[in-house]
Amino acid sequence: MEKVVTGNYAVSWGARLSRAQVIAAYPITPQTSIIELLASFCADGELDARFIKVESEHSAMAACIGASAAGARAFTATSGQGLLLMHELVHWAAGARLPIVMGTVNRAVSPGWSVWTEQNDTLSQRDTGWLQYYCEANQEVLDTVIQAYKVAERILLPVMVVLDAFVLSHTSEAVDIPDQDKVDGFLPPYRPELKLDVNDPHAFGPIVTPEHYMEMRYKMQKAMEEAVSVAQEVDEEFGEVFGRRHGLVEPYRLEGAEVALVTSGTVTSTSREVIDELREQGVKVGLLKVRLFRPFPAVAVRQALAGIPKVAVIDRNISFGHGGIFAQEVKSALYNVDGVHRPPIFGFVAGLGGRDVTPEPIKEVISTTLANDAPPEEILWIGVKK
C-alpha cells in the first residue's frame, strides 16, 4: 500500500508495523506528530500496545527501559532538548543492553531557542552506546525503524533512527507501507533470554564492582563492532524481502571523482541533484552518504573513498573547539590503517539552526574543494554573514 505521509508519520508506521508493545513518550516539537499518530493507532485498536503518557522524556525512557527489560518491544520518540533531558537514561538503556528503538528528530539545541534542524542533539549522544541511523527520505525512515528492531534485538543495543526537523519530519512523500504479514515474517517477536519476571526475580542494573565493570564495557564495544556486520546483513535481508536496500553508506557517482562529497540526512538528497548537474557539466564529483553513524562503518567508508584525491564533508553540527563531527569521524577512519590513501579532508559546517542547505552552498563547497589543494582553514564555514 502506498501512502503519502510525512517523515514523522513514516516513523509511526515503522513502529506500528514492528508491533511495538509499549510506547512511552512526551511531546516536543518537531517530534510530536510521531507519537500522536501512534497514540491514535493505540486508541483505535490498530496497534496492540500500551501507550504510557509520562511527565518528561526522562520518564519516557525510564518506562521504555522497564518495558524492554520485561521483554516488551519498546518505542519512544523525541527531539532536541527532550533528548538532552533524557540523556542519563539514554546511557542506561544501552548499558542495560535493551533493544529500544527511538525516533529522533534533529532539532537545534537552545539557546537561542530553535525548533529547526541541526545534528548536535543526537551527535552529543554519540558515546552512549546507541546505534544511530541518519535518514534521507521518508521511505528510508520507515524501513530503518523496522531494520532497527531487528539489529537491536540481535546485538542487544538500542537504536536511534534520526531524521531532520521539518525538512523531513514534516515533509510528505509517497511511501510504500509494507504488508504486516511481510514485516512479521522479517521481524519475529522479541524473546529475550533474561527478563524481568516477578515470579523469578533478578536484580537488574545492580552495582558492578571494578572487578567486572570493565568487562561489561568491553562486551558493549564488541557488540557495537558486531553491529556493523549485523546491520549489513539485516539490510540485505530486508532487500530480499521488500525489494529495497539503503546500505550502511551509499556511494553515488563516485567513479573517477576528483572530489567526494560526504553528507548525512537531507543534505544528501539535495547533494544528489547538485552532483547530477555538475557531472552533466563534466565536473568530476561524486557523493558518499553516511547512513549508519554508530557504529561508524569505517571499512565501508575507506573502501568508498579509496583513490579519491579530495574529500569534502558537510557537517550540520559542530563540536565546539574542534569542528564538524562527521569530518572528524571520516578522518579517523582513514588513519592508522596500513596502505590506505589519506586524501585531504575539507571540513565544512553548514545549515546550523535549520538554515536551508540549498544547491548553492553545496556548489560552493565543491568549488572551494576543487580550487584548493589543501583545506585553507580547519573549519570552512558556509554562509556565515561576516
Partner 1 sequence: MEEAKVIIFKSEAEMPTMAASLANTLYNKTGSWRYMRPLYVDKTPPCNDACPAGEDIVGYLGLIRQGRYREGWEFIMQENPFPGVCGRVCPHPCESQCNRTELGEAIAIHVQERFLADWAYERGLRDLKGLKGIPSDPLDPSVPSVAIIGSGPAGLSCAYQLVRKGYSVTVFEAQDKPGGMMRLIPEYRLPREILDHEIAAIESLGVEIRTGVQLGRNLSLDDLKDYQAIFLAVGQSVSRKLGVLGEDAAGVLHGIEFLRRLDQGEKPSLGSRVAVIGGGNTAIDAARSARRLGAEVSILYRRSRHEMPAIYEEIEEALEEGVQIEYLVAPVEVLTEKGKVSGLKCTRMELGEPDESGRRRPIPVVGSEYIIEVDTVIPALGQVADLSFLGKDIKAERERIVIEDSGATTRLPVFAGGDVATGYGTVTHAVGSGKRVALAIDRLLRGETLEGFPPLDRNVHTVPRDMDPTVVGFEDLNLAYFEEEPRPRQARAPAEERVRDFTEVNRGFDEEVAVTEALRCFSCGTCNQCDNCLIFCPDVAVLRNGDERPYVFDYDYCKGCGICFAECPRRAISFEEEIKWKK
Contact 316, 350 (CB under 8 A): yes
CB neighbourhood size of 385 (10 A): 3
Rule CB under 8 A: choose which of 111, 112, 188, 206 binds partner 1. 206
219 in contact with partner 1 (CB under 8 A)? yes
CB neighbourhood size of 179 (10 A): 11
- 76 DSSP assignment: E
The interface mask with partner 1, positions 71-110, x = CB under 8 A, is ------------------------xxxx------------
**CB 122, min distance to partner 1, A:** 25
Q: Which CB atom, from 156 or from 357, has the smaller least distance to partner 1? A: 156
Q: Which CB atom, from 198 or from 384, has the smaller least distance to partner 1? A: 198
φ and ψ at residue 347, rounded to 5 degrees? -100, 110
**CB 22, min distance to partner 1, A:** 14
d(CA 132, CA 148): 9
d(CA 73, CA 190): 7
On the 0-12 / 13-18 / 19+ scale of CB atoms within 10 A, 46 is exposed
**CB 218, min distance to partner 1, A:** 6
Site for partner 1 in 120-159 (CB under 8 A): 156
The interface mask with partner 1, positions 181-200, x = CB under 8 A, is -------------x---x-x
211 in contact with partner 1 (CB under 8 A)? yes
212 in contact with partner 1 (CB under 8 A)? yes
Stretch of 180-188, 210-218, 231-239, 334-342 contacting partner 1, by CB under 8 A: 210-218
CB neighbourhood size of 126 (10 A): 15
**CB 221, min distance to partner 1, A:** 11
Integer angstrom CA distances of residue 174 from 137, 140, 177: 10, 11, 9
d(CA 242, CA 135): 18
| Residues lying near partner 1 in the complex (CB under 8 A) | 95-98, 156, 194, 198, 200-206, 208, 211-212, 215-216, 218-219, 223
